Chain A
């Protein structure tokens, strides 16, 4: 395997307000072209990791220890100006809600070409040409018309395509996808997942895929990190974690999922004792 593109080592974060830990010595490694699922229920800390990488943590959260090595540079200790440039150019974000991720007051063209013009210093004409080819790449019909459109004129699926196009605009090495399909209908979700995977294969991009849906993980991720209470509970290749989970919590979570293919298997509530035991386990260092 190639050299890792992202190495997170012992990352810890606390809430400034009451000092409760949000991440507890999280470590993970991501290689070029790999998709790693970051799963857990609400409060597990999965999106905090993505935010820490992008340096967009809310002011109430503070990183207390650890390293985030991206292409061998520690993002946590880099000076601010080169850091901003590095993140802008090499790391992209696909956010959860396509409804709020596009500025309602600006045309698609302006939003799609922002990065090209600001970071690459591209001219309006080259940026526009690049935007057109990006829209074609994400299979948008009538890309000319879409460039002139405002976000409210596009459907949710179309907007998410535009956001994927924007994420790939600068050929980043890493994309952080924060629940990118949670707000979409299932049929649209599948199209978007496929599009993302195909784009990623074509460009060799690594993806950190934050989600709560184990089904999505099974179908699109290569490897997975399962979190509970800010701590890594289990991690490894998807096949191993989902088919032969080692930790009882991973098994229980799988059993709780409703299964349309095997209705007799799913929907078993996670035993309260297990949750209580996990809480204690996570809290002890």
Chain B
């Protein structure tokens, strides 16, 4: 299944870049290149062959682990991916965790307070949050913390003046595990705004779905029976309702998490965060064909991995599926 989709993604990106109007070479060359230069370039990238043959060569190289060389950065695409992907993974992971914590706690509070005046307030605020996408959040945060309360760094992943000696590209994890507190807090400061921009829309979606399924679960007879045995409302929500309500919310979060990964593209751009999203925009603007292909494939693989992980989580959360 996953293999089919990934192959589909590969074929689609390949065809898209070659069949749509516009010569891929025309995207690369600077104006005023001689026809001979163009032909040489064409031969260099194997673009003089037929499209079928081109695809075979590309796929063969891919399977060997050869993603080609970036035209604009003159570096191996694989190397660039290895350097930039961890930054994006840390950002997306942090956003996911924040969204999950926010979503679950707001939903639980909303259900606990469902008889009070707080509940409609939460609903309304959440409704507003649902409508605002990551792009707008990012800019609102920039405006707030860049101009009105300048306490957070506006761009980058780490303060360049700090001693940055990392053995892995996972800066956040490494600094945490090696207990370099100053570094860790600096990285966190840099990540707060992009993480929030990505997490808030996801948290809102999660809250809406989880809140509804929690409310639905709370009126089931099994919750009623547990209530008659004297369980407190908090325990009813956490012990009885949550485990049944979380499965549909998780399933939806899977789709939304892939949107979140997509959102890293523009959010990284706004905060000049050195991940693959930011890199991808540069690659497109510079018409860097091998890099675009490599990055798109990386995004595709990420999408598929997330979907598989979510499928597994949904199964784990639902005994009915677990026992088939």
Chain A interface (Cβ < 8 Å from any Cβ of B): 54, 56, 59, 84-85, 87-88, 91-93, 95-97, 100-106, 111, 114-115, 118-119, 150, 152-153, 166
Contacts and interface: CB of A to CB of B under 8 A. Distances in A.
A102 B320 CA distance: 13
Interface in B272-324: 317-320, 323
Contact of B222 (A84, A91, A102, A119): A102
Contact of B225 (A93, A105, A150): A93
A101 B225 CA distance: 7
16 contacts: A54-B228, A56-B227, A84-B230, A85-B230, A88-B230, A91-B228, A95-B221, A97-B221, A101-B222, A101-B225, A104-B320, A105-B243, A106-B240, A119-B230, A150-B319, A166-B225
Q: Chain A binding site: helix, strand, loop or mixed by DSSP?
A: mixed
A153 B323 CA distance: 9
A272 B230 CA distance: 46
A114 B235 CA distance: 12
B227 A100 contact: no
B320 A95 contact: no
Contact of B319 (A93, A97, A105, A166): A105
Given A95-B221, A100-B220, A150 B320 contact: yes
Interface residues of B, number: 21
Given A95-B225, A104-B319, A106-B243, A59 B230 contact: no
Interface string B233-263: 0000000100110000000000000000000
Given A101-B220, A152-B320, 20 more contacts: A56-B224, A56-B227, A56-B228, A97-B221, A100-B221, A101-B222, A101-B225, A102-B222, A103-B226, A103-B243, A103-B244, A104-B222, A104-B244, A106-B240, A106-B243, A114-B226, A114-B229, A150-B320, A152-B323, A166-B225
Q: Chain B binding site: helix, strand, loop or mixed by DSSP?
A: helix
A59 B220 CA distance: 16
A101 B240 CA distance: 12
Nearest to B319: A150
Contacts of A166: 225
Interface of B: 115, 220-231, 240, 243-244, 317-320, 323
A97 B317 CA distance: 24
Nearest to A89: B230
Contacts of A118: 229-231
Given A88-B229, A104-B319, A118-B229, A93 B224 contact: yes
Contacts of B224: 56, 93, 95
A103 B229 contact: no
A152 B319 contact: yes
B315 to A, nearest CB: 13
A141 to B, nearest CB: 20
A166 B228 CA distance: 12
Contacts of B225: 93, 95, 101, 166
Contacts of A59: 115
B319 A87 contact: no
A105 B222 CA distance: 11
B244 A105 contact: yes
B226 to A, nearest CB: 6
Interface centre among A103, A111, A115, A150, by most chain B C-beta atoms within 10 angstroms, is: A103
Contacts of B229: 88, 114-115, 118-119
